[in-house]
Amino acid sequence: MGASLHRRPAPRRLRIAPISVAERSLAAGPWQWAGLGAVAFAALVADQVTKHIVTRTLALDDSVHVVGPLSIHHVQNSGIAFGLFASATAVVTVVTAAAVIWMLTFFARSGSRHPVLPAALGLLIGGSVSNLVDRIRMHHVTDFIDLKWWPAFNLADTFIVVGVAILLVALVATDKTPPPPRRTLDVAAR
| Residues marked as catalytic | 143, 157
Distance CA 15, CA 158 (A): 54
Name the nearest CA neighbour of 40 among 112, 124, 109, 116. 124
Residues with Cβ < 8 Å from 24, sequence gap 6 or more?
112
Beta strands per DSSP E along the chain: 12-16, 63-67, 70-77, 141-146, 185-189
DSSP conformational letter for 127: H
Using DSSP, state whether 153 is helix, strand or coil.
strand
Using DSSP, state whether 16 is helix, strand or coil.
strand
Q: Which residues pair with 86 in a beta bridge?
A: none
Task: Identify whether the C-beta of residue 22 lies closer than 8 Å to the C-beta of residue 93.
Answer: no
H helix and E strand count, the chain: 4, 5
